[in-house]
Amino acid sequence: MNISIIGLGGIGSILVNTLSRYLDTNCSLHPVHIKLVDGDDYEPKNTIRQEFINFGNKAYIKKRELSNKFSNIYYEDFQMFLDDNFISEIISENSIVFVAVDNHKTRKLVSDYAKKLNDIIIISGGNELTDGNVQIFIRKGGENVTPSLTDYHPEIENFEDKLPNEMSCEELSNSAPQLYFTNFMVAGHMCSAFYNVIEKNNYKVSEVYFDLLTMNANAKKRIPKNIRG
Amino acid sequence: MSKIKSMSIAELEEKTVAELRELCKKYGIVGMSKARKDDIIDEISNFYDNYENFEDSLNITNEEPSKLPYINANLHSFLDVNDTYKTLISVSCGAASSNYPVVGKTVGYVKATYREILNIEIDSKAVTNGNEVSDSYILKSGDTLEFVRQAGVKG
């Protein structure tokens, strides 16, 4: 099983720990190869809501940490932000891609690239301060089984943000406040999506929303707009 | 101090379908324009039952009949009405959802009416039964309506 995790911040650093523990002992899914993608460093300011054991590049640190812990998984680190130049190394046929980034431009990049492939599963999560969502984009045999990340989301299709490697240091440091619990819930719903799709062959749900303040969660079933992408 | 005079099933059965529909209009029961006489009587009877339990908490006077549709909408939301209730449609936005008596209403009307309650963004896409629809789409019994909430940006 080939898995890529793009973004190892508040969501990704939690997600990869939980996912690894599950995959390490689940022999039916072996061999497991996880690509960890992030160009950012884990710094003291991140300790409030991110899961790392050392400071340094997040992909590298996480690979070292988890390789020691989970011997049945092969980890590969990509110490850079995803862009057009190396997306083909990260996203390939029959892979599962977790998108845990903090910008819509990367989500659109991944979604558009996935449309060129025949069989791919994209699980993308995002949040605001106290609510969030997880999108599940599945292609099988060259057709969209669920809507792409942009189908019902014009804010992703017509993104107004930048890739991290296009942002200035000031822009990067001016990020909106986030809550660890909200990141944690997104990661949990991404694991739930993975379990439903991989273990239960449940392709019905295309998006899940949750709200920390009301403690509600709502799964959505939508029809893909362009069946052939 | 009931402000609505309830009728028995026998009294309702004596009325014509047109008269029953007029009563539905008066009580704010929607989605009955094509319903059979028996179904309309069931709906009105149901309305009487629910209303009797609810009216004491409401301050209605005979001079305010226009309040009735609003009260009926609140009544349906207030009660835990089961899925088979024909006049209710599940309306959601993000993690928020509720059932509202909006059969026969347009999507645009629902968006305007429940915008604040469900926190619907002004340019939110509307989806019924999994397909995107325009604001002029008229909701039918059995539809589900979703206003797509924007995806979270951060991670």
pLDDT tens sequence across A97-117: 999 999 999 999 999 999 999
What is the number of structural domains in chain A?
1
One-letter amino acid of A159:
F
Please tell me whether residues B64 and B25 are part of one structural domain: yes
> Could you say which of A7, A211, A216 has the minimum Cβ distance to residue B155?
A7
Across residues A137-144, what is the average pLDDT? 96
Q: Give chain B positions within 8 Å (CB) of A216.
A: 95-97
What is the number of structural domains in chain B?
2
- Look at residue B32 and tell me if it is in a domain: yes
Please tell me whether residues B73 and B93 are part of one structural domain: no
For residue A31, whether the previous peptide bond is cis, meaning omega lies within 30 degrees of 0, is: yes
Condensed to tens digits (0 to 9), the pLDDT of residues A118-128 reads 999 999 999 99
> Could you say which of A126, A211, A221 has the minimum Cβ distance to residue B155?
A126
Residue B75 scores a pLDDT above 80: no
Q: Does B149 touch chain A (CB under 8 A)?
A: yes
- CA-CA distance, B123 to B150, in Å (whole number)? 10
Please tell me whether residues B96 and B47 are part of one structural domain: no
Length of chain B: 155
DSSP annotation string for A121-174 = EEEEEEE-SSEEEEEEEEEETTEESS--TTTT-HHHHT--S--GGGS-HHHHH-
Please tell me whether residues B26 and B61 are part of one structural domain: yes
- Look at residue B70 and tell me if it is in a domain: yes
Please give the torsion angle defined by the CA atoms of residues B41, B31, A217 and A224, in that order, rounded to the nearest 10 degrees.
140
DSSP annotation string for A7-64 = --STTHHHHHHHHHHHHHH-GGG-SEEEEEE--PEE-GGGTTT---SSSEEHHHHHHH
Condensed to tens digits (0 to 9), the pLDDT of residues A45-74 reads 999 999 999 999 999 999 999 999 999 999
- CA-CA distance, A134 to A149, in Å (whole number)? 10
- What is the C-alpha R_g of chain B? 17
Which chain A residue's Cα is nearest to B154? A102
Residue A141 scores a pLDDT above 90: yes
Query: What pLDDT score does A31 carry?
Result: 94
Condensed to tens digits (0 to 9), the pLDDT of residues A27-50 reads 888 899 999 999 999 999 999 999
- Look at residue A227 and tell me if it is in a domain: no
The pLDDT-based confidence of A89 (bands split at 50, 70, 90) is very high
Residue B65 scores a pLDDT above 80: no
Q: Give chain B positions within 8 Å (CB) of A152.
A: 125, 127, 132, 148
Across residues B18-40, what is the average pLDDT? 82
Query: What pLDDT score does B86 carry?
Result: 60
CATH label of the domain that carries residue A172: 3.40.50.720
Cβ-based burial of A201 (10 A; exposed 0-12, middle 13-18, buried ≥19)? exposed
ipTM comes to 0.90
Q: Could you tell me the CA-to-CA distances from A57 to A60, A68, A85, A106, A178 in Å, in that order?
A: 5, 17, 20, 19, 21
- Look at residue A197 and tell me if it is in a domain: yes
Residue A170 scores a pLDDT above 90: no
Query: What pLDDT score does B74 carry?
Result: 52
- Look at residue B23 and tell me if it is in a domain: yes
Please tell me whether residues B29 and B73 are part of one structural domain: yes
Query: What pLDDT score does B78 carry?
Result: 46
- Greater confidence, B66 or B125? B125
Residue with tokens 């990509």: A78
Q: Test A211 with B152 for CB contact under 8 angstroms.
A: no
Give the three-state DSSP class for A196. helix
Q: Test A133 with B151 for CB contact under 8 angstroms.
A: yes
Range of the domain at A120: 2-220
Query: What pLDDT score does B70 carry?
Result: 53
Q: Give the distance from residue B120's alpha carbon to the nearest chain A alpha carbon, in angstroms.
A: 14
Query: What pLDDT score does B115 carry?
Result: 94
Q: Give the distance from residue A227's alpha carbon to the nearest chain B alpha carbon, in angstroms.
A: 13
Q: Test B153 with A103 for CB contact under 8 angstroms.
A: yes
What contacts B15, CB < 8 A, 6 or more positions away? B23
Q: How does the average pLDDT of chain A come out, rounded?
A: 94
Please tell me whether residues B53 and B18 are part of one structural domain: yes
Q: Test A211 with B151 for CB contact under 8 angstroms.
A: no
What percent of chain A is modeled with pLDDT above 70? 97
- What is the C-alpha R_g of chain A? 16
The pLDDT-based confidence of A151 (bands split at 50, 70, 90) is very high
Q: How does the average pLDDT of chain B come out, rounded?
A: 80
Residue B57 scores a pLDDT above 50: no
Range of the domain at B126: 89-147
Please tell me whether residues B49 and B71 are part of one structural domain: yes
Query: What pLDDT score does B52 carry?
Result: 65
- Look at residue A229 and tell me if it is in a domain: no
Residue after which a domain boundary falls, among B47, B78, B109: B78
- Look at residue B102 and tell me if it is in a domain: yes
**CB of A137 closer than 8 Å to CB of A218:** no
